[in-house]
């Protein structure tokens, strides 16, 4: 099954069809096998620059695996995954590291370097790229996610919501082209989930490609009210475009 | 050569930021510090042993190779004639610098360890000894033996070869043993630091996962661990070398009456050699950690 998926750029008013050669992430007949059977199969899709997608499906359906394939944490057992038009199989370990600097990832159980303060954790992508963080930019970013007062706090002292927002700040500090979020609101209350969603929508309006794996249908409905998001659903190891039943 | 320069650059210019991403505490820190310290301490003694053995081998080889003894066994009434004949032969032998008959007192001193101090050497039928010292070019031992057989039938030339060779070989082997010990100590230290590095890498799997997630290259992650372990090994080895040098300095000093053990130590510029051990230990730690880290990273991700 091939899904040609569109996206939103700018203020969310211009709809762009994905076209050959400009997809940031492309799956071509991809399968993934954990050894105990096939988890994903026959997946073909292209995520256009500036698009906003949700990925849904029951627990264990393969959402996290799909996301890991999107940032080359896993390699497909069959088919082809291309990130920014480069086949991941042809990437060296250094190439993968460089590619990940263009992809911000937010996990449900977002992990940090617990011995370093929040500000240092947020600037970690810059540090590993041998770039000096701009203090004003960092302050702006922490204010944007509402964590300016916690710059010196150690990660273990942060609440779930604060950790999610810190992870989002870390994910966007390199101004990546793509942001992948795996159940980012899984541990958050509704108010905090909406706040995080607002941040993701703002990023999308800046032109970032967003892919959020979630089983929270309310969140998806809320997002669709703000942005032209598309919903992908994993069912029977395959990915489908979800319809109006959402 | 390029690879070596890269390694050296990694060692000298390791990123301090990279160092910081690894949590500073943990049992592996102490393990590395202690291992490097203890191994370098032992290496100082192995070095001292090796150098002392080398000096001993050189001394034995040099001193014994330049002297020889002629043993004269003859009836008492012919002893003086035989001694004179031997000295005459030696006086005309090319390569012999000097020769003299040992006095009764000297012979008594030689026999004292076995027969006590009051041995009446002059009234006993013990052979008389003539000591000769050769010139740098040496002499023809076989030719001298033949001349002695003709001129003084009771004289036997002993050029010390028979018992000098095993002594020199033994001292040489002892020197090799010292160097082998240093190599073994270095290998053991590399193994221990590799284990510590592996333990640290496993304990910091989350750190590595986070770093990989945010786009850190393997070289960056490896540098973080390598710098930490190299500095720890350097600090531990410096302490171990210092303790070892103090230990060697406190050993009894060499003197004329002393044996091999009292000569176990460093002399002159030899005291600088233990100072090479900490940088060597750091280099061992650097290579061991680097290899372990790259291998582990490939396993982890």
In whole angstroms, what is the distance from residue B243 CA to residue B234 CA? 14
Mutation to test the A interface, candidates B14, B207, B217, B220, most A Cβ within 10 Å = B217
> Given pLDDT bands bounded at 50, 70 and 90, which one contains residue A8?
very low
Burial B121-146 (b: 16+ CB within 10 A, else e): beeeebebbbebebeeeebeeeebee
B196/B247 same-domain check: yes
Same domain, yes or no, for B198 and B284? yes
Q: Is the domain of B236 the same as that of B194?
A: yes
* Residue A119 contacts residue A152 (beta carbons within 8 Å): yes
Q: What is the pLDDT of residue B2?
A: 60
Domain housing B129: 74-153
CB distance B206–A73 less than 8 Å? no
Q: pLDDT of B161-170, one tens digit each? A: 767 778 778 8
Listed in sequence order, the residues at least 6 apart from A176 whose beta carbon sits closer than 8 Å to its beta carbon are A101, A102, A103, A104, A208
d(CA A90, CA A217): 37
* Domain-terminating residue out of B99, B122, B153: B153
Query: Which residues in chain A are closer than 8 Å to B204, comparing Cβ atoms?
Result: none
pLDDT-based confidence at residue A3 (cuts at 50, 70, 90):
very low
Percent of chain A at pLDDT exceeding 70: 90
Claim to verify: residue B49 and residue B178 sit in the same structural domain: yes
Chosen domain end from B88, B123, B153: B153
Give the closest of B23, B206, B215 to A97, CB-based.
Answer: B215
Both B227 and B279 in one domain: the answer is yes
Asked if B188 and B272 sit in the same domain, the reply is yes
Task: Please tell me whether residues B130 and B264 are part of one structural domain.
Answer: no
Contact criterion met (CB below 8 Å) for A204 and A210: yes
pLDDT of residue B10: 57
User: Would you place residue B64 in the very low, low, confident or very high pLDDT band (cuts 50, 70, 90)?
Assistant: low
Residue B196 within any structural domain of the chain: yes
Whether B93 maps to a domain, the answer reads yes
Is residue B140 pLDDT above 90, yes or no?
no
Q: Are B248 and B45 in contact (CB under 8 A)?
A: yes
A139 contact B CB<8A: no
Contact between B144 and B157 under an 8 Å Cβ cutoff? The reply is yes
Structural domains in chain A plus CATH codes: 50-73+91-239 (3.40.50.300)
Provide residues of B within 8 Å CB-CB of chain A: 15, 17, 20-21, 23-24, 206-207, 209-220, 298, 301
- Does B133 score more than 90 pLDDT? no
pLDDT digits (tens, 9 = 90+) for B189-207: 889 888 888 888 888 888 8
- A113/B21 touch (CB, cutoff 8 Å), yes or no: yes
Quickly list H helices, chain A. Answer: 63-70, 93-100, 118-122, 124-128, 135-144, 160-172, 190-205, 217-224
Note whether B215 contacts A125, CB cutoff 8 Å.
yes
Same domain, yes or no: B33 and B92: no
- Helix, strand, or coil here: A87? strand
Which element (helix H / strand E) includes A30? strand A25-33
Q: Which residue of B has its CA nearest to A124?
A: B214
Instruction: Using the predicted structure, report yes or no on whether residue B4 has a pLDDT greater than 70.
Output: no
Structure-derived torsion over alpha carbons of residues A158, A161, A166, A167, reported in degrees to the nearest 10? 120
Given a cut of 60, whether residue A17 has pLDDT beyond it is: no
Q: Closest Cα of chain A to B288: distance in Å?
A: 21
Note the pLDDT tens digit of each residue in A134-152.
Answer: 888 899 899 988 899 999 9
pLDDT confidence tier of residue A112, bands split at 50, 70 and 90: very high
CB contact under 8 A, B210 and A112: yes
The pLDDT value given to residue A11 = 30
- The first and second tokens of residue B271, run together, are 């005291």
Tell me, yes or no, whether B228 and B291 share the same domain: yes
Residue B79 inside a domain? The answer is: yes
Chain B contact for A53 (CB, 8 A cutoff): no
- The better pLDDT of the pair B77, B164 is held by B77
Distance from CA of B217 to the nearest CA of A (A): 5
Split into its structural domains, chain B has a count of 2
Do the Cβ atoms of A192 and A159 come closer than 8 Å? no
CB-based contact B215 A113, cutoff 8 Å: no
Residue B207 exposed, middle or buried by CB count within 10 Å (0-12, 13-18, 19+):
buried
Whether residue B230 sits in one domain with residue B83: no
Contact A77, A155 (CB under 8 A): no
Model confidence at B277: pLDDT above 90: yes
Best residue of A74, A104, A113 to probe chain B, by most B CBs closer than 10 Å? A113
Chain B within 8 Å of A246 (Cβ-Cβ)? no
Residue B9: pLDDT above 70?
Answer: no
Same domain, B178 and B292: yes
- Interface contact A105, partner B, CB < 8 A: yes
Q: What is the pLDDT of residues B86-116, one digit of tens each?
A: 999 999 999 888 899 988 888 888 888 788 7
* A15 pLDDT higher than 50: no
Beta-sheet pairing, A103-106 with A178-182 = parallel
Q: What is the pLDDT of residue A19?
A: 38
Measured in angstroms, the CA of B215 and the nearest CA of chain A are apart by: 4
Residue A140 phi/psi, 5-degree rounding, is -60, -45
- The distance of B205 to chain A (nearest Cα, Å) reads 11
Distance from CA of B289 to the nearest CA of A (A): 19
Prediction ipTM score: 0.82
Task: Say whether A113 and B17 touch across the interface (CB within 8 A).
Answer: no
Q: Which residue of B has its CA nearest to A125?
A: B214
Which residue in this structure is represented by tokens 């050894």?
A35
Cβ of A124 and B210 within 8 Å? yes
Q: Which residue, of B153, B186, B206, is where some domain finishes?
A: B153
Which of A12-16, A186-190, B130-134, B186-190 is least confident?
A12-16
- In terms of domains, do B144 and B188 share one? no
Interface of A with B in 165-184 (CB under 8 A): 170, 174
Check residue A79 and give left, alpha or beta (phi > 0: left; psi -120 to 50: alpha). left
Interatomic CA distance for residues A113 and A238, integer angstroms = 36
Nearest by CB to residue A101, choosing from B17, B215, B301, is B215
Chain B residues in contact with A129 (beta carbon < 8 A): 215
Higher pLDDT, B181 or A9: B181
């Amino acid at each position: 099954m091939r899904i040609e998926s569109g996206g939103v750029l700018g203020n969310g008013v211009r709809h762009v069809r994905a076209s050959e050669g400009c997809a940031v992430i492309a799956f071509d007949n991809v399968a993934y096998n954990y050894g105990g059977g096939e988890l994903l199969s026959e997946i073909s899709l292209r995520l256009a620059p500036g698009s906003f997608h949700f990925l849904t499906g029951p627990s264990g359906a393969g959402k996290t695996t799909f996301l890991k394939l999107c940032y080359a944490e896993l390699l497909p057992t069959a088919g082809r995954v291309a990130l920014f038009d480069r086949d991941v199989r042809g990437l060296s370990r250094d190439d993968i590291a460089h590619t990940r600097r263009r992809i911000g990832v937010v996990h449900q159980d977002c992990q940090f370097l617990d011995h370093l303060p929040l500000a240092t954790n947020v600037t970690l992508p810059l540090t590993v790229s041998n770039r000096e963080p701009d203090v004003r930019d960092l302050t702006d970013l922490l204010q944007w996610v509402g964590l300016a007062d916690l710059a010196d706090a150690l990660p273990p002292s942060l609440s779930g919501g604060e950790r999610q927002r810190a992870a989002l700040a870390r994910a966007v500090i390199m101004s990546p082209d793509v942001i992948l979020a795996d159940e980012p609101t899984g541990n958050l209350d509704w108010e905090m989930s909406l706040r995080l969603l607002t941040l993701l929508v703002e990023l999308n309006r800046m032109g970032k490609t967003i892919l959020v794996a979630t089983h929270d249908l309310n969140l998806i409905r809320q997002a669709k009210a703000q942005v032209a998001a598309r919903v992908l659903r994993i069912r029977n190891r395959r990915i489908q475009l979800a319809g109006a039943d959402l | 050569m390029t690879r070596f320069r890269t390694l050296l650059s990694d060692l000298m210019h390791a990123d301090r930021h990279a160092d910081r991403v690894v949590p500073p505490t943990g049992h592996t820190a102490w393990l590395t510090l202690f291992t490097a310290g203890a191994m370098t301490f032992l290496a100082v003694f192995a070095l001292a042993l090796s150098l002392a053995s080398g000096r001993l081998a050189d001394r034995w080889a040099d001193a014994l190779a330049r002297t020889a003894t002629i043993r004269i066994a003859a009836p008492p009434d012919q002893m003086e004639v035989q001694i004179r004949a031997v000295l005459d032969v030696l006086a005309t032998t090319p390569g012999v610098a000097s020769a003299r008959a040992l006095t009764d007192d000297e012979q008594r001193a030689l026999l004292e360890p076995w027969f006590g101090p009051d041995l009446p050497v002059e009234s006993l039928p013990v052979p008389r000894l003539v000591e000769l010292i050769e010139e740098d070019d040496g002499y023809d031992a076989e030719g001298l033996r033949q001349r002695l057989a003709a001129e003084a039938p009771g004289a036997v030339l002993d050029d010390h070869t028979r018992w000098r060779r095993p002594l020199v070989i033994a001292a040489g082997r002892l020197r090799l043993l010292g160097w082998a010990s240093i190599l073994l100590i270095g290998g053991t230290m590399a193994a221990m630091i590799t284990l510590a590095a592996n333990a640290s890498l496993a304990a910091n799997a989350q750190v590595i996962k986070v770093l990989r997630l945010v786009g850190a290259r393997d070289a960056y992650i490896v540098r973080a661990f390598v710098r930490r372990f190299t500095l720890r090994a350097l600090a531990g080895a410096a302490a171990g070398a210092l303790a070892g040098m103090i230990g060697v300095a406190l050993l009894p000093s060499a003197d004329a009456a002393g044996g091999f053990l009292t000569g176990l130590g460093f002399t002159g510029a030899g005291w600088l050699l233990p100072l090479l051990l900490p940088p060597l230990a750091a280099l061992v730690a650097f290579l061991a950690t680097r290899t372990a880290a790259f291998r582990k990273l490939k396993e982890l991700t």
